[in-house]
Amino acid sequence: MRSDKIKKGIERMPNRALLYGTGAHPDHLRRPFIGIASSFSDLIPGHINMRTLERYIERGVENADGAPFIFGVPGICDGIAMGHSGMKQSLPSRELIADIIESMVSAYSLDGLILLTNCDKITPGMIMGALRVNVPAIVVTAGPMLAGHLGKKRLSLVRDTFEAVGRFQAGEITESEQKNLEIEACPSCGSCQGLYTANTMACLTEAMGFSLPYCATSPAVLNKKMRIAYESGQKIVALVKQGLKPRDIINKDSLANAIRVDMALGGSTNTVLHLMAIAKEAGIKLDLKEFDRISLETPHISNLRPGGEYFMEDLDQAGGIPAVLHRLINKLKPSPTVCGKSIKEIAKSALVSDQDIIRPLNNPYHKQGGIAILFGNLAPEGAVVKQSAVDPQMLSFCGKANVFDSEEDAMTAILGKKVKKGEVVVIRYEGPAGGPGMREMLAPTSAIVGLNLHKQVALITDGRFSGGTRGPCIGHISPEAASGGLLAYLKNGDAITIDIPKRKIEVKLSQAEIKNRKKAIKIRPAKAISGYLSRYSKSVSSASTGAVLGKLLTEK
């Protein structure tokens, strides 16, 4: 066992003494050491149930003759960090989490890992770290939140709080209604109720075979989640004995399956960043064109919020990810999973219990997948849009640029009703390096929807969007403004064309005009930052390569 390095031999007498100091029994020292990386936090509703799940994982590990050891991993709730400078820390935290996994596994020579996670950047960060150290690992996602209720109306965080800000500003809801919505929208622990980034990543983790079946969709409050945690604790000890490692499970085929499930579900655009970062840690080449290729041949068959009206609890009751895999079985590539069955075996044995929540391929919500990749002079390296959440009349749009150099400036203008019909809101200097941190723009996009402008106004940015965003919102524009992308040289009134079916995003400027602007307009200097964000800004790569640390040689 790897852990023999720290517990066997006369020279390890001091090490054993310290392990006994933790309360370990001599019997534990003959067993495989299983690290339980827990992102428990009182600050995140998606993580406050993890103390209970930790207990059930420990029980499973002990029952299978392993020695469990819990250690902590930080977590940021994107919803709470949204709309202010705190969001700059969210995406960068993914790299910190990967580093923590690497550090802890290496320092303690752990034999296996349970990754107890749930929200946004925490799940991909843990997977990246597990791939880096490549010891047997299983992910346990803590589960989605239940829908809120106000009378008979079902509520979700994004639709009924973020978008309600715009509705309140427009006078559509009263102060009393606003207060009722904010107190009822999040009625339980768990990750937010729709197919936002946290839940999308949980679904894709299961689709990659890196968590047990039904783990992704099982609500946080159900005892089914506890049983999955217990079984995961048992299974990790078996994986250690078997020697099945993360790089055996996450390969080119399993990543392709994850992208296909993403497209079928209409998941968050953030998954593009995360799957590319995961692929890099696994030593697999993955680029933006692969996402678009799979999207073009994968129907969108499940319409959850924000684009649709269903919730994660509905997807679970309809059969969860195994049922989605069942629909896609003929498009899946064979790959192993942590449960011991192949992904196709799981798909074959699954049942679909609701034909509308998970539709057959010949009766989809949309003929193409949820995400589209756009290219053009504004985004020669690519840009990303959640096309399944765009109104059909806005799939092609031409408008005049209304340019802002920060999210805050754009938000002030939107709520101040200074954004007009027919405009394209441009938010720049919010990319991975320029932000720094590539903030999500859920506040301005939700305000646009709340003000009922999402059928007359588009938004583009070198930042990114929450999985809860809907409407014609194009993010990840690469190169970003801070790296000299054309976004930096746009002016108010420039004519911008967005054509999602043709995968185009262009500004109508001649080469001569672009050349003149590049001479006359200086790129805005980096923001005055220090500490981790300063280091991150200097070394983060383009969004088109996953926004990972360590700039590519081809990047300036």
Catalytic center residues: 466
Q: Convert 424-440 to b/e letters by CB count within 10 Å (16 or more is b).
A: bbbbbbbbbbbbbbbbb
Strand bridging mode 371-376 / 379-386: antiparallel
Q: Are 78 and 468 in contact (CB under 8 A)?
A: no
Q: Are 147 and 156 in contact (CB under 8 A)?
A: yes
Q: Convert 64-91 to b/e letters by CB count within 10 Å (16 or more is b).
A: bebbbbbbebebbbbbebbbeeebbbbb
CB atoms within 10 A of CB 297: 12
φ, ψ for residue 64, nearest 5 deg: -90, 10
Q: What contacts 125, CB < 8 A, 6 or more positions away?
A: 73, 93, 94, 95, 96, 97, 98, 101
Q: Are 25 and 103 in contact (CB under 8 A)?
A: no
Ramachandran assignment for 452, one of left (phi > 0), alpha (psi -120 to 50 degrees), beta (any other): left
Q: What does the DSSP assignment read for 103-160?
A: HHHHHHT-SEEEEEE-STTHHHHHHHHHHHHT--EEEEE--BPPPEEETTEEE-HIII
Q: What contacts 6, CB < 8 A, 6 or more positions away?
A: 12, 15, 19, 108, 109
If you ran DSSP here, which 8-state letter would residue 161 be given?
I
Q: Are 67 and 32 in contact (CB under 8 A)?
A: yes
Residue with tokens 């005055």: 528
Q: Greatest CA span in the chain, whole angstroms?
A: 76
CA 139 to chain centroid, in Å, comes to 15
CA distance linking residue 49 with residue 107, whole number of Å: 28
Ramachandran assignment for 56, one of left (phi > 0), alpha (psi -120 to 50 degrees), beta (any other): alpha
252 by Cβ neighbours in 10 Å (0-12 / 13-18 / 19+) ranks as middle
Vertex 213, ends 326 and 108: CA angle to 5°? 145
